Structure 1
Amino acid sequence: MMSSGDEGPSNADVTLNSSVADLNLQEPTSSSPDNAADSATISYQPPISNNVPGFRYKYPQAKPTPPGVDDTEWNKLFTAADSRYYNKHGKNSKESEKYRIRGETYELALKMLGEKREKEKLVAAGLLPAKARKIPTADKLGKMSTTIKREPSTASRDATPMFGTSIGDMTLGIAEKIKSEGRARKPMAPTTISSDRGTPAPTTTIKSTPIPPPKLDKPVLKKKATAPSVKKPVIKPRSETPSGTSGSRPSGPRTSNSTDNESGSNDGGEYCICRGPDDHRMMVCCEGGCDDWYHCSCVGIDETDTRELLDRYVCPKCTTAEAFTTWKPMCRYYNVGIFQGKLPCKKHARVTMNPPSKYCSDEHRDAFWTFVKSRVRGDEKPSMGGALNRKEIGWLLERSKTADDVHGLGGKPRLPNKEDADLTRPVGLYYLTAEEQLEIAEIQQKKAVIEARVGGFTNQVKVLVMINDRAKHALKLTNLEVKDFCGYDNRLAMNEAEFSIWCNTAEGQAALETGEIGPRTSETLSLGMIMPHPAQSIPDAPKGPDALNNMCLKARKKCKHLNWRELHNHDFVYNKKILRDELERLARAEAEIVDNAETREAAKDYYANNVTIQLF
């Protein structure tokens, strides 16, 4: 329905959307702002989804949607409210989560919703200017070849419906159509569009009601890289910068920096070894096969190194001899920054250039050699252990034919391998003195004892697993009143010596060979037995099925063996770590003795022909 003062549009100019059933327009009765705002009344409102079952909110705290509000609109408002708290606390997701749990984010979203509704009312009443619309240039209008029929109107404000108005091959969406009809427009003369600066420009005559051209539909801008879901990984675009280690594969790890997201909020998924969400920290994708995403802080990788130096990341569980994490060569100027105590350069070197370069730029190349030149002593006096002069540096470079020779300057002298010698055996073993041989024999004896102790703790961990499995199996086979019983076995209380004896018994050998531990036999009952006080009497253990033999059947929470699994496992693992550290210390001591023997033999001729004089 429309007033008699308006002439309805033709079928060629107006295309009704199938989702719109009716449209009613009324002419204003006066020139007041209130009546002018009601001059165009749309009776149809698009259906909204309010608290629809199965709607996926970004955060569960956004439930429920306020009455009369669309779920999608409320979800966006709640996300925007969460972003305010997130940015307020320096992009700290944990702080914004506290606001969501306390309900303050929900209250802020309600406040934002009220402000939005008030603003919509003011815009509709003409008290606030509508959002500026972008007018296409004359070139674009000329390309679209737009010709819209002008309809006469007797009203001061044109209220002709524009549903389905086509511009070229573009059709307004329902949201734009409703906005076009609901806003009061000033009439425009059918003149030409020209430049604001008076410069002549192509013009296009518009034969239409005075409605500005709508925005052209632009391709939707995709958000920057966000870590994909674990269940449905999305392949992310990778950098096309050539790598220094792989010529056919694009270099650069698959990274995600969630601080670039428009919403500034996490997606609630589970990633990384911490099984946490995508919480605005930089993440890196494993390229070893699992395609899982990991927080750089959780896997011990610096974010700056990730951006500049990481070539390919492979997580520990996917690491093999062929697939492992690789890095790009670092700019050589990094060492200068470390030496001077300044911020070092952590960019990758241009190794893919022709010819390759050890520097990230020409500036750092020149700065490096300027620094090297500044370290050279300017006088001609011979060095006495300090900086070298130009002649001494030239003499060293003349005698260093290869880069390995330069790198070996100042190092310990080495001896070549003898003919028909075992290449896996260190050269220094051939030049050990009697005292050094005795010392090495003592070290090897200590290492053998420690390795045996490490093997004992490894077997105790296996027994712990077998006892736990036996307790679970016994629960399925027997009908006990206490369903959640303790299950402790006193074979875990043996010390190292007692456990070593138990391993040599038939019971222990059978358990370690089969991986299943049975009831305790009479042969091992004395191991780990508690010696009672002379006046103390200990009742015999109740007889029962073999599945429950030597097993604590008290309720788990009431038993004194609480957390026996965790305590014993921690004890065994910690003891193994201490013993392995001791093994490494002994190995370093042995290697140092052998290395000193080789150095002594290599420098024998030098000290024979040179005399050292002590001056003070």
Structure 2
Amino acid sequence: MLFFWGKSHLAFESYSVFPIIGPGMTEELSKEELKRLQKKFQEFEKAPKYNLNSEEVFCICRKPDDEGQLMVACDGCDEWFHFRCMKLDPKYEKLVANFYCLFCDRLFNKGTTLWKRKCKLEGCFNPIELSEEKKSKYCSEEHGLMYMKQTLLDKVLKQESLNDQRLLNLKEVSSILREVGDCKALAKLGEELPIYSDFYPNANLSPLLTEKVAVWEKQIQQVTTDLEHLDSRLRLVLALKDFLKLLNENINIITIPDYIPGSRTKSSKSKSKNSKKSDICGFNRVILDLDKATDMDQFKAKISPYLGKNTIDPEEFKKLYQEIYPDDDDMVDFVGPDNWLAGFCLKDKRKCNKHHSWLNILADDYYLQTQLLEEKKKRLQDEKQTLMTDYNIERWETLEAEVASN
């Protein structure tokens, strides 16, 4: 399944972990718009950081955070902005994944805002359940049932006629629901001609048709296998991204005095004074084996020491980090093979030209490959279905002719 990133004006139509539309790919500004935005940024940058009462001020409105208004931190500049000033509805608070202010998005192309997909139930603005084990269109099973019941009743109780055909009543609907096996079978009910072999199991395909079906099934199975491999690789990339966040937090604890890990959104709280937070490149050479590995289990075993950790022992991490940076600023040329932290590029990702945007590029490549394979799989399935449909129609027409002749 593919997911795509959306901008704030596309809010909640989609959700993903990595952007398909990346930094620098937004619509170009006109000269007039660019001048107005640059002027607005200069005013914002030159504005006082404190008011006359020595209170720290935030956002483009330059007001203190003392009114209990919902705020969100920009992932590009770490400035805090009011939902109201950014023209964001407070009911979408739980749907913010990553936020980029107008300046970082449109002026400096640092990134675009990411929204989580909302629950399909009308009136609910919680994000959908999304994990490795479960992919849902709803925030909970309860809301999923409520949506299905509401949709079904709307269809049944609809009063207008459709092409002069009588609508089903509740009793008839209940009878149909007892007969079908699942939701997919219900959705397809009446869309296509019944399968001939379901009624006449002893009817065999011709040798030529059997051979053609076997070829299509083999190709479809190969594409399915390739998709599974890509999905496994993408999951590893996502796990690495989560692990890099953990590394950044631990580096902040070491390098920033009195550092307190905080969330990206807040309400009725002052802005954190933490500055120069760690945002490492995180490139790891073992990730290069991702495309070379033919045995995914072997690759997982190789990279597993770096992934799947929810916590890191602070003292152990500090020791590893100080082996690499004994003088805080200068990195040593060589450390021992037991220092797993040395396998990661610890440069600021904005200054690391060697591995610039490597994680996003890798993820985008997998998404593109997945899209192409899914299109190929659908095409093969459609071709096979067309072949079987023609055969099905032919058999029913033959049977109809036989019955008519008798």
Is this a same-fold pair by TM over 0.5?
A: no
Between structures 1 and 2, the one with greater helix share: 2
Larger radius of gyration: 1
Bigger RCO of structures 1 and 2 (CA < 8 A, at least 6 apart): 2
TM-score normalised by L of structure 1: 0.29
TM-score normalised by L of structure 2: 0.42
